[in-house]
Amino acid sequence: MKSMPRTRAHAHPFKPRAGLRLVFGSAVAGITVAAWAQTPPADSADPPPNTELPSIIVVGTTPLVGVGTPLEKVPANVQTIKGADIEAQHTPTITNYLEKNVVSVDTNDAQGNPWQTDINYRGFTASPLLGTPQGLSVFMDGVRINEPFGDVVNWDLIPQAAIQTMQIIPGSNPTFGLNTLGGAVVVQTRNGRSNPGGNVDLSFGSWGRKSAQIEQGGVIGDHLDYYFTANILNDNGWADHNSSKLRQAFGKIRYTDADTTLSVSMGGADNTLNGSQTIPRSFMDNFRQAYTFPDTNENQVGYITINAEHYITPNVQLSGNVYYRHYRNKNVSSNVNDHFDPDGDDADELAQAFNDQSVIVTDSYGASLQLTLLNKLFGKDNQLVIGASGDFANSHFTQASQPAEFEENRATVGTGPFAPTTDAKTRNQNLGVYFENTFSFNEQWSMTLAGRYNWAKAVIGDESGAQPQLDGNHTFSRFNPAIGFNWNPTPSFTAYATYNEGMRSPTAIELACADPAAPCSLPNDFIADPDLKPVISKTFEIGARGRIGSHTTWSAAAYSTTLTDDIQFVSAQGAGSNLGYFQNVGKTRRQGFELAGRTQWGPVGVAASYSYVNATYRSTWIESSASNSSADDNGNITVHSGDRIPGIPANTVKVRLDYNPISSWNIGTNVTYRSNIFARGDENNQDVNGSVAGYFIIDLDTTYNVTKQLQVYATVKNLLNKRYANFAILGQNFFDGPNHTFNNGATVNEQFLGVGSPRGVWVGMRYAWK
């Protein structure tokens, strides 16, 4: 299992069922009124033929989209991304697209692998790395895909080609349940009715990267449609020892009629991801080298999801899903022995390093049910959503450790057998009941009330018999409310204000590693520890959005999210090892504002955004950070209220330009600026190394349609070949000299950097058919 980086519109009560179903089916993608005007409400007249009215953007404000809510009645700065937008830029990973295009999003390359990056949104993280405080919930087709063991998000397991839409919903929206502290990412997959035909896509380029993808969708008869996609990718990696192999497949079959939609989707992935991790500043003479290796993650997943919606009456919709998901991760990682002593008598002291091997297998399953009522309340339009969900997971975690020695290239070679260290099983049970009600006072004003009661239970059991004190039973519960107001004085302007609360319960890995007197080595060495408190988030947000003319849109928002009893992984010995423990650190706050706009001038399209995040600790607490130059004799630092949270840049600027010199040719560029960050371990912002400098990156892409069927394209990442780092952690460097060889246990405190990739160039072609 992966670990912390080591050294390395109005809610109209539409009458006809077909009209409701069309609105639901186009949720988050946006539809034109003309699309459903062929079957208008019984009390309305047909519009003139061929009349196209302004589009209605429908937002899914609950995990089960249901009928959805028109954007003008959503009190949040929701961002919607179409799968076609991701395809148009030919980005290799979902995280890369989000980093370059979505407001208030940036990334951390803590593992040195492009498919294992952290996504930070408004200062909250969705990461594949155990030990990273998670603050975003991620859903695909109504199923929460934060892995139950650690709440991690494996971006490499999401089938990128199958994305129909992706929404970024900010704030502590309680209807999305646990872990929605700073926002939710909601993915809806494609279907054959809206994606007919097929294509094959081939690309190759820098670092030996080669990929192939196939996609096919269609309709069978009047009621059935199907969709399928599969891809393979091999990448030697831009750095030493960070190659990747991805194998993904996804399929869906749907039945639809005037009242009912039933879909069955299945998918799987088998990926092998190697990481070069962070390296010391003194290693930057060759920024491609790894500190130690190997570090390999084998990610495998298989899942099935059944979704259904049915209109009981024209104004009452019942929707639900059931799912099963099998996840397996095997991790092999190399770690310096912090207690190495060449003159020692103990066998553990004589080992220069240890190879850790961990395996986690999780079977998760669950179901959701949601009722949507479109009716009148006090003679006014009203939409009420009531839902319930249950999510359950059983995880089996095993860990073994092997003594090892370093070769000259810092590869670790085992000198003995793997000895089991941990054998634990965990069970997670999460139950939730929620509601959301949108009431329209009139055509201009509406109010949204929402709430959810969460009940979470984590059971931990020792299977080896050697750690009976590990056994534990932890239960958390809370009701989280939300209220918001929207004002729409004109069809082209919306203002809103909202307040909402959320909760994240401690995960099994956090509960089993929370004692500073007995730090754990992630992801191994579970121990019996004191309970942690759940994290509570409280968010205020105000904002506005609108349209100027027919080609320009804009948005602005200001927000403040305060966390109480925030949980953080405290490194016991810095980046030199993954030894540490989790603790509640009091209050933290992320507040700021964001501005965005998009316009079209003839053949030129421009999208730009600026975001400011002031992420700070709001409590004073003591942290063990011996690698921090300001640490006391005991290796402790004092973090004060107002100190900046590491890894979160205060300023980001993004510009996207598209130019179409002719209708068949597009030239695009992404310009990204990110300001400086502090290193983990420097939570008091006092380390002598200071912060990590910001950077400025330019990417290019171009697409040419040779025929209606054949398309060729090219992309360039990091055009100016900038040397930069977007992540840092303080730690101990055990290697010295011009060849960076093992220094017999002597160490130097340094700042370890997560280095960004150099310039890369790729070309490809896509052939499509109907």
> For 327-348, what is the HEC assignment?
EEEEEEEEEECCCCCCCCCCHH
Read off the pLDDT of residues 498-551 as tens digits, 9 standing for 90 and up: 999 999 988 877 776 766 655 565 443 343 345 688 999 999 999 999 999 999
All residues at 6 or more sequence positions from 288 whose CB lies less than 8 Å from its CB, including other chains: 238, 239, 240, 276
- What is the model's pLDDT at position 122? 97
Compute φ and ψ for 190, nearest 5 degrees. -75, 165
CB–CB of 194/164 below 8 Å? yes
Nearest to 721 by CA among 742, 696, 703: 696
Least confident range from 197-211, 503-517, 640-654: namely: 503-517
CB-based burial label for 52 (10 Å; 0-12, 13-18, 19+):
exposed
Give the Cα separation of 626 and 91 in Å (integer): 40
Would you tell me how many other CB atoms lie within 10 Å of the CB of residue 158?
24
Q: Distance (Å, rounded) from C-alpha 670 to C-alpha 85?
A: 13
Whole-number mean pLDDT of the chain?
A: 88
C-alpha–C-alpha distance, residues 92 and 715, integer Å: 10
- Is there a domain that residue 51 lies in? no
Number of domains making up the chain: 1
**Nearest alpha carbon to residue 61 among 383, 303, 390:** 383
* Sequential DSSP letters for 134-149: P-EEEEETTEE-S-TT
DSSP-assigned beta bridge partners for residue 450: 436, 482
Round to whole Å and give the CA distance between 569 and 509: 11
Rounded to a whole number of angstroms, the distance between the first and last alpha carbons of the chain is: 42
| Residue with token string 């039973």 | 473
> For position 580, what pLDDT does the model report?
66
The residue whose two tokens read 């049970």 is: 429
Across 277-293, b (16+ Cβ under 10 Å) vs e yields bbbbeebeeebbbbbbb
pLDDT at position 112, please? 87
Q: Whose CA is closest to 224, among 197, 252, 259, 198?
A: 252
pLDDT at 56: 67
Does 19 reside within a domain? no
Pairing between strand 604-617 and 588-601? antiparallel
Q: How is the chain split among helix, strand and coil, in percent rounded to 5?
A: 10, 55, 35
What pLDDT does 433 receive?
Answer: 98
With 60 as the cut, is the pLDDT of residue 575 above it?
no
* Dihedral sign, Cα of residue 339, residue 342, residue 347, residue 351: positive
- What is the arithmetic mean of pLDDT over 419-445? 93
Phi and psi torsions of 19, nearest 5°: -65, -45
Give 443's pLDDT tier (boundaries 50, 70, 90): very high
**197 is a domain residue:** yes
Amino acid at 743: N
Q: Do the domain assignments include residue 740?
A: yes
709, part of any domain: yes
CA distance 392 to 390: 7
Alpha-carbon torsion angle 342, 345, 346, 352, nearest 10: 10
733: left (phi over 0), alpha (psi -120 to 50) or beta: beta
Give pLDDT, residue 23.
Answer: 37
CA 585 to chain centre: 23
Percentage of the chain lying above the pLDDT 90 cut: 72
What is the domain extent for residue 270? 58-340+347-399+419-769
Residue 220 lies in a domain: yes
Looking at residue 18, its pLDDT comes to 40
CA atoms within 13 Å, Cβ hemisphere of 597 = 9
pLDDT band at residue 27, thresholds of 50, 70 and 90?
A: very low
* pLDDT tens by residue, 128-182: 987 788 999 999 999 999 999 889 999 999 999 999 999 999 999 999 998 899 9
Specify whether the CB–CB gap between 558 and 602 falls below 8 A.
no
Q: Measured between alpha carbons, how far is 247 from 233 in angstroms, rounded to an integer? A: 7
**Neighbour count for residue 743 (Cβ, 10 Å):** 14
Share of residues in the chain with pLDDT > 70 (%)? 87
At a CB cut-off of 8 Å and minimum separation 6, what does 221 contact? Answer: none
Tell me whether residue 267 is exposed, middle or buried, using C-beta atoms within 10 angstroms of its C-beta: 0 to 12, 13 to 18, 19 or more. buried
Q: Is position 63 within any domain?
A: yes
667 φ, ψ (degrees, to nearest 5): -120, 125
DSSP class of residue 162?
Answer: G
Backbone angles phi, psi at 160, to 5 degrees: -60, -40
CATH code: domain of residue 590: 2.40.170.20
Report yes or no on 34 lying in a domain: no
Pairing assessment for the beta strands 58-59 and 224-235 based on DSSP bridges: unpaired
